[in-house]
Structure 1
Amino acid sequence: MPSTIPAALSRAAGRFASAPALGRLTYGQLAGEVRRVARALIAGGLRPGDRLALWAPNSVEWVLTALAVSCAGGTLVPVNTRFTAVEALDVIRRSGARGLVVIGPFLGVDRLAGLRAAAASLPEMVVSIPRGWAGFLARGEAVPDAEAGARAERVSPDDVADILFTSGTTGRSKGVMSAHRQSLAVAEAWAGIAGLHPGDRYLVVNPFFHSFGLKAGILACLVSGATIVPQAVFDVPRVLELIAAERITVLPGPPTLYTSLLDHPEAGRYDLSSLRLAVTGAATVPPALVERMRAELGVEVLTAYGLTEAVVATMCRPGDDAAIVAETSGRAAAGFEVRIDRPTGEILLRGPNTMLGYLDDPVATAEAIDADGWLHTGDVGRLDEHGYLTITDRLKDMYICGGFNVYPAEVERALAGLPQVAEAAVIGVPDRRLGEVGKAFVVCRPGHSLAETEVLAFCRGRLAGYKVPRAVELRAELPHNASGKVLKYLLRTEAADV
């Protein structure tokens, strides 16, 4: 199998030449378009080893640019589209990016204008999508095709392919470095377990700047010949339209994506019968949701676990029964070993696809990866006798109530059993007598309602007393990051301000 992204693109162009790849492009045409963009990057001054920041939503141009950076011998630095100009500028500067490809006005915000207002200087090469795209490509015509081909051939499996900055939900974001061989290996593993093939049409709602969207999305399609169908912004009616119109077969996403689709009042108007596979993952995936997805969408449902530093660590397999899919995150995948640390219960991972390290931060790297090569994930879990992993919580989310450890994910899992609940999050808040007690934030399904007393009574019948929340706040929605995880630090901040 190819061990560099340029080699994987070349292989795809040969094996899947006439298969649809992206938009109107076949895989044969995709390779040619990527080469055009690579020539333009070279013309703009991108040298082997240089870094290029990419700040844009999911789009055809995003895919072309990301693949072209690798083919030009550079390193891709995706930037979170939810960042402000100040946050984006921090990532651009810390990464040492020599080039920047950025969306122009989008969703009412001109990101390039914001950067120029926040900074005295920007990288040497700046390309605006879509306004400057044609001119950018035209400049590449001066670069011989052979020069771009030679650049691609010189890329090594151990070269840094990408630097993905963590979400920064618990502190300053860190740049996670991965080599070409690692990014492709996790893509191959995910595609293999999911059974991706040239007939699949993969709606990538997960942001490309996130490790899942890039590696289990773009690269997974590249190695399998599946079609990439990007969606710039998650919009339920648009997702329903795309599934029907594009005959989408594969749709990964967080649990909230599927509850939004299933509960949408217009869902019954669309033909969703093309769907065959849904992959989700989170600390809490309600068993009832898995059953609904199988019954109402007719799809194979798999759960998985990963993080930016490892991408795909465990995954269920097709044919696993509903209980395993709902209650675990599968077993080791992509060459990883998984073990549970004692006595903390922390999940540890070791394997060839663990990150190379954090950019310019050897101290944080040493804290994350111990001397024996184990990555300390910060997640808490347990393994059953068959190697299936159940995530019980984040170490930092645990709180102590009256001397007893409480893992919020366990409480959230209980709350998911309430038919009216669409989503729930639990945090620990200070209490004078018990130290900390639980506070639950609950979002009801459309057309349903709950009272605080109902929620508490339900919990008392299913949880030990110290685990039962002392307060319930009913909300229309919860704050999420781009990968669909609830931003509990925001909930803690709000609770502290009350």
Structure 2
Amino acid sequence: MSITEADMSDDDPGPDRPSIAAMAASAAERFPDRTAVVDGGKRVSYRELYEEARRFGAALVASGVEPGDRVGIWAFNSREWIVALLGLQQAGAVLVPVNTRFKGREAAGILHRAGAKALVTVTDFLGNDYVEMLAGAGVALPDLRTTVIARGRPSGTGVPWDAFLARATGEALAEVDRRRAALGSGDTSDILFTSGTTGEPKGVVMTHGRTMRVATDWVAMTGLSEGDRYVMVNPYFHMFGFKAGILACVSAGATMYPQAVLDVDTVLGLVAEEKATVLPGAPTMYHAILEHPDRDRYDLSSLRVAVTGAADIPVELIRRIRDELPFQVIVAGYGLTEAGTASSTGPGDAPETIATTVGRARPGFEIRVVDGAGEDAAKGEVGEIVLRGPTVMAGYLDDPDATAEVLSPDGWLRTGDLGRFDEGGCLSIAGRSKDMFIVGGFNAYPAEIEAMLLEHPGVREVAVIGVPDARLGQIGMAFVVPRPPAPSADEVIAWCRERMANYKVPRFVELIEELPLTASGKVLKTALQERASTRAVT
């Protein structure tokens, strides 16, 4: 089965904004005095943001960065991150974001593979000096000529932020303007590396046109406008934070409030003080807000837009967001690094639809669910999700074989995700194909089992994996974060036996305080596999 939407029209960035650099220039013209970024005690307008970005771009030019060169950003969400992004685009360079949770060797591996010529980083985040971590990684970076310290103390050969901006000259500024004018929608804009939770990260190559389309479609999906104030918890190194965050705000003229980490008290205080209207995040963030003991002390009445996404959102969570928080628009969506946002629910959808599906195809997208032979699966049957649309990647960096494995000549992307269509044509995610395990010949889908387990009143969060079994090949193991009063593992298993087919029932349940998460909020199932391997479960 497949679903299709018509191509975008009004939301296309258009010929007057062929690149991210041009879009930033346009924002400075359209919203010159509107506040663009509020970061701590500093507020900058769109005009000021653009001028600082131009200076950053000119400093890159003066440092020898050429059009098409790659520039890494390994830093927490901040005003400097936004300036660096927009500035490197002004110089015609290509963004390579690096996960802030990476250790030195992991970050160095990404920078080496990308051939980064410059890096923007920090020297004080969660107790880490990233310049020191990189120096001690033991990985040669022959292309890396300039390291800029956006925040923190001096370290190694890193150049402090203000000193770097001082490199900009009149000649370099003029060169920046020439490069901006020369950029087109087909030029490479960014290379985002996949999370690598199931293998070595791959570099996803995107063009200006594709990336801006993600941003402008997000604006259309949420109704984001220049009057909105957007609290940014999603990390900028992730597609959501960068494209549906920074670039969506620049496109619409909204105000950005970057958050280095998720601190619920800080977020609630910020919403109340600044009358914030947009607060996207993982389901865990909304749960933490709802469970906050002092939530009623904060005035949250300004909140308008909530956007989340996961395969296992409890229906009760969506009902509570709708009933206990003032959001007028609650959206769940499905996206991936290789394609941007491919589907979403609509403003009129019921809580059950928002919680259990990721809605329908976004404009310009075609989505199919196919069986092992590549034919459309029957409605309700699980198959691999394949899709085609205007924001699908150009390919994987320096890896034509991997590109050919997932991207057909006519533009169909094999996502590796499993899903099904319901009677209303909405797509549900059943999990990653690599997460699926086979119990005595039956396919077991972790996301489906997790969704059922979340109906248990004593289960706050859960993740399910397959573990080896001598008789059945594999069996399920559930890691449960309980809510008081916590059920026992045996009680959870007994509850499952009454509600699930036998092959779906986890044979082992472990109660834990929290699930291991990536910096972008996804459950790190490789860590759970390692934890399970230390137990005698077979």
TM superposition score normalised by structure 1: 0.97
Aligned to 1:154: 182
1:487 aligned onto 2:524: yes
1:68-107 to 2 correspondences below 5 Å:
68-107=87-126
The residue matched to 2:22 in structure 1 has which SS? helix
Cα distance in 1 for partners of 2:183, 2:386 equals 31
Question: Percent same amino acid among aligned pairs?
Answer: 52
Aligned to 1:397: 435
Amino acid at match of 1:312: T
User: Given the alignment, which residue of 28, 48, 53 partners 1:29?
Assistant: 48
Alpha-carbon offset, residue 246 of structure 1: 2.1
Aligned to 1:438: 476
Amino acid at match of 2:29: G
User: Given the alignment, which residue of 444, 447, 450 partners 2:487?
Assistant: 450
Cα distance in 2 for partners of 1:280, 1:40 equals 37
Aligned to 2:282: 254
Q: Which runs of 5+ in 1 are unaligned?
A: none
Amino acid at match of 2:340: V
Aligned to 2:21: 6
1:469-488 to 2 correspondences below 5 Å:
469-488=506-525
Cα distance in 1 for partners of 2:326, 2:420 equals 30
- Relative distance call for 1:38 and 1:391 in structure 2 (3 A) is same
Aligned to 2:367: 338
Aligned to 2:250: 222
User: Given the alignment, which residue of 315, 320, 331 partners 2:344?
Assistant: 315
The residue matched to 1:54 in structure 2 has which SS? strand
Aligned to 2:399: 361
- Relative distance call for 1:448 and 1:244 in structure 2 (3 A) is farther
2:383–2:420 Cα contact (<8 Å) kept: yes
1:334–1:353 Cα contact (<8 Å) kept: no
1:52–1:75 Cα contact (<8 Å) kept: yes
Moved more, 413-422 or 209-218: 413-422
Moved more, 134-143 or 155-164: 134-143
Q: Which runs of 5+ in 2 are unaligned?
A: 1-13, 155-159, 373-381
Alpha-carbon offset, residue 269 of structure 1: 2.1
Alpha-carbon offset, residue 399 of structure 1: 1.1
Cα distance in 1 for partners of 2:256, 2:171 equals 28
User: Given the alignment, which residue of 58, 62, 66 partners 1:39?
Assistant: 58
The residue matched to 1:335 in structure 2 has which SS? coil
1:129 aligned onto 2:166: no
Cα distance in 2 for partners of 1:387, 1:44 equals 53
- Relative distance call for 1:291 and 1:450 in structure 2 (3 A) is same
Alpha-carbon offset, residue 121 of structure 1: 5.0
- Deviations along 1:197-251, one digit per CA (max 9) or x if unpaired, are 0111111111100011100000111111111110011122222222222222111
- Relative distance call for 1:307 and 1:297 in structure 2 (3 A) is same
Alpha-carbon offset, residue 385 of structure 1: 4.9
2:73–2:120 Cα contact (<8 Å) kept: yes
Cα distance in 2 for partners of 1:387, 1:180 equals 31
Aligned to 2:377: none
Aligned residues: 497
Amino acid at match of 1:427: I
Cα distance in 2 for partners of 1:240, 1:143 equals 45
1:54-65 to 2 correspondences below 5 Å:
54-65=73-84
The residue matched to 1:58 in structure 2 has which SS? coil
Aligned to 2:335: 306
Alpha-carbon offset, residue 401 of structure 1: 1.2
1:180 aligned onto 2:208: yes
Aligned to 1:468: 505
- Relative distance call for 1:7 and 1:274 in structure 2 (3 A) is same
Alpha-carbon offset, residue 176 of structure 1: 0.4
The residue matched to 2:341 in structure 1 has which SS? coil
Amino acid at match of 1:126: T
Amino acid at match of 2:21: P
1:266-305 to 2 correspondences below 5 Å:
266-299=294-327, 300-305=329-334
2:108–2:141 Cα contact (<8 Å) kept: no
User: Given the alignment, which residue of 7, 15, 22 partners 2:30?
Assistant: 15
Moved more, 69-78 or 22-31: 22-31
Amino acid at match of 1:336: F
Alpha-carbon offset, residue 334 of structure 1: 4.5
Moved more, 121-130 or 97-106: 121-130
Alpha-carbon offset, residue 154 of structure 1: 0.9
- Deviations along 1:74-124, one digit per CA (max 9) or x if unpaired, are 001001100001100001110001111111122211110121222455611
Cα distance in 1 for partners of 2:171, 2:261 equals 35
2:18–2:183 Cα contact (<8 Å) kept: no
Aligned to 1:191: 219
1:312–1:334 Cα contact (<8 Å) kept: no
User: Given the alignment, which residue of 41, 62, 72 partners 1:53?
Assistant: 72
The residue matched to 1:25 in structure 2 has which SS? strand
TM superposition score normalised by structure 2: 0.90
1:113 aligned onto 2:132: yes
1:406 aligned onto 2:444: yes
1:392–1:407 Cα contact (<8 Å) kept: yes
- Relative distance call for 1:34 and 1:413 in structure 2 (3 A) is same
Alpha-carbon offset, residue 454 of structure 1: 2.3
Moved more, 389-398 or 367-376: 367-376
Moved more, 75-84 or 117-126: 117-126
1:40–1:143 Cα contact (<8 Å) kept: no
Cα distance in 1 for partners of 2:123, 2:110 equals 18
Alpha-carbon offset, residue 372 of structure 1: 3.3
Cα distance in 2 for partners of 1:397, 1:315 equals 23
Cα distance in 2 for partners of 1:334, 1:139 equals 43
1:71–1:152 Cα contact (<8 Å) kept: yes
**Greater fraction of residues in helix:** 1
1:425 aligned onto 2:463: yes
Alpha-carbon offset, residue 261 of structure 1: 1.6
Amino acid at match of 2:218: W
RMSD: 1.5
2:478–2:506 Cα contact (<8 Å) kept: yes
1:240-251 to 2 correspondences below 5 Å:
240-251=268-279
1:324–1:330 Cα contact (<8 Å) kept: yes
Cα distance in 1 for partners of 2:416, 2:465 equals 17
Cα distance in 2 for partners of 1:387, 1:249 equals 30
